[in-house]
Amino acid sequence: MDSNPDVAQFIQSAATHTDETCKLIVLGLEGIGKTTLINEACGTHFNTSDGRSGCSVKENQKGTFRVDGFSRCYELIDMLGINYKNPGEWQKALHGRSEVHGVIFLLSGINPRESALGELPRIKDYCSNLDIPMLFIYRDGFLNFAPRIRIYADTHEIEVDDEEAMCKIVKTKFLRYQNLQEVKGVIAQTFANAQQLHQLLDPIVICGHVKMLREENENFKMEIKSLEQNHRNIMNEQKKEYDNQISLLNELLVKAVLNVKELKQTIDKISEDNQKQLQELIKVTQSLNSDNEHLRLKNEDLTKQKSALEKTYTDLYEEKDALLIAIREAKIKRQLLEIVKNKLDNEIDNLTRTKDNLEKEKNVLKNKKLRQQQRMRHIGKIC
């Protein structure tokens, strides 16, 4: 029988298709069965904990498998079990793993330590914010991932006591871990078009930086207010001291005027008295000269104090200018952070549009595959 051109083209297309490995992280509590899942799905023989608190995981503990109908090779990477006493460790496990394509969370509803499933809404929100593809697989029992929410393994029914708890349900694919081939098929289908992750940037960290800059800005404002208040207090105290010194100087000047008047009266008396009174007048004049020298020295001290006050004022003004410069720099940093945030928002929008385009391409390929299958069945009937 002559070879059909469509069949030859299909075989050539399948032969020239580029092979790709889809790397997936397997996360879960200690002893949940992550290594067992990898051994059964990939045919590996790594040591397991058999339900105990945990076991040692080697650095390169991973396995691969293929699923008919999917061109990708799927690689499951075993991660160290998360301790139920510190469920937030899943976030540390995700940081820095930019070489993978997605995350698989393995869960068990009958494990009493599964109270850590209260983390599921946070895990889902975290992965959604970073565009991380994910799949939740549970083995048996039912899941408690809010105080009054249950998903039963047998009936897949959901019990919710209030609307607030209903909002916390993780809206993603939950798969029962009983049929291994079904598990592998759902993994392949879920991550068929998953792209390799880029560097993970936590939006919470960016918000923390913005909050820190705001706190520093508030601290700068408080320091400026404190310096201004101290400056006002110092100037008020110095003004009071200066006024007191001027008042004292005025009193001394008044006394000097009185002394001059007394001197004039004494001179009038001296002109009428004899030489002895003249000598006494000379002594009084010398005393007045001494008082004038004392006043001159005090005036020089006041001049020096005035210069020191002017220097202190200049220093405080320079410190105020330095603080204003620091505030401007903080505002510039804040604007830069806003620019970075806007860029990240744009990148998220671009990734969302890329995802929509990939979904459209997936539907096109699916329709094309259906047409090829119909063509193959038609060819088979002809043969």
Is the domain of 191 the same as that of 213? no
C-beta separation of 72 from 188 below 8 A = yes
**What is the predicted pLDDT for the residue at 65?**
95
Q: Which of 111, 130, 123, 146 is nearest to 34 (CA)?
A: 111
Instruction: Say if residue 85's pLDDT is above 60.
Output: no
231-275 pLDDT, tens digit each: 999 999 988 888 899 989 999 999 999 999 888 888 888 877 777
Instruction: Say if residue 338's pLDDT is above 70.
Output: yes
Q: Which of 178, 28, 27 is nearest to 111 (CA)?
A: 28
* Structure tokens belonging to residue 217: 């800005």
**What is the predicted pLDDT for the residue at 70?**
92
Is the domain of 99 the same as that of 152? yes
Q: Which domain holds residue 155?
A: 18-200
**What is the predicted pLDDT for the residue at 158?**
39
C-alpha–C-alpha distance, residues 176 and 185, integer Å: 12
Neighbour-count burial of 160, counting CB atoms closer than 10 A to its CB (0-12 exposed, 13-18 middle, 19+ buried):
middle
Is the domain of 93 the same as that of 188? yes
Q: Is residue 151 part of a domain?
A: yes
Higher-scoring residue by pLDDT: 297, 281: 297
**What is the predicted pLDDT for the residue at 159?**
41
Q: Is residue 106 part of a domain?
A: yes
Higher-scoring residue by pLDDT: 143, 221: 221
pTM tops 0.85, yes or no: no
C-alpha–C-alpha distance, residues 328 and 338, integer Å: 15
Mean pLDDT of the residues in the chain: 74
**What is the predicted pLDDT for the residue at 161?**
39
Instruction: Say if residue 79's pLDDT is above 90.
Output: no
C-alpha–C-alpha distance, residues 96 and 81, integer Å: 17
23-39 pLDDT, tens digit each: 998 887 777 788 888 88
**What is the predicted pLDDT for the residue at 7?**
40
Is the domain of 246 the same as that of 311? yes
- Quick one: average pLDDT of 187-200? 78
Residue 123's domain is classified under what CATH number?
3.40.50.300
125-156 pLDDT, tens digit each: 666 666 778 887 776 544 433 333 333 333 33
Strand 149-152, strand 142-146: pairing: antiparallel
Contacts of 133 (CB under 8 A, 6+ apart): 101, 102, 103, 127, 190, 191, 194
Is the domain of 260 the same as that of 341? yes
Q: Is residue 383 part of a domain?
A: no
What is the widest separation between alpha-carbon atoms in the chain?
165
Is the domain of 149 the same as that of 285? no
Q: Is residue 278 part of a domain?
A: yes
**What is the predicted pLDDT for the residue at 124?**
64
Higher-scoring residue by pLDDT: 277, 13: 277
285-299 pLDDT, tens digit each: 898 999 999 999 999
Q: Is residue 310 part of a domain?
A: yes
Is the domain of 159 the same as that of 216? no
Banded model confidence at residue 121, pLDDT cuts 50, 70, 90:
low
Number of domains composing the chain:
2
**What is the predicted pLDDT for the residue at 331?**
92
C-alpha–C-alpha distance, residues 126 and 334, integer Å: 25
Q: Is residue 374 part of a domain?
A: no
Is the domain of 84 the same as that of 176? yes
User: Which of 166, 200, 234 is the last residue before a domain boundary?
Assistant: 200
The β-bridge partners of 174 are: 136
Is the domain of 259 the same as that of 348? yes
Minimum mean pLDDT range among 193-207, 229-243, 317-331? 193-207
Q: Which of 154, 183, 196, 163 is nearest to 23 (CA)?
A: 196
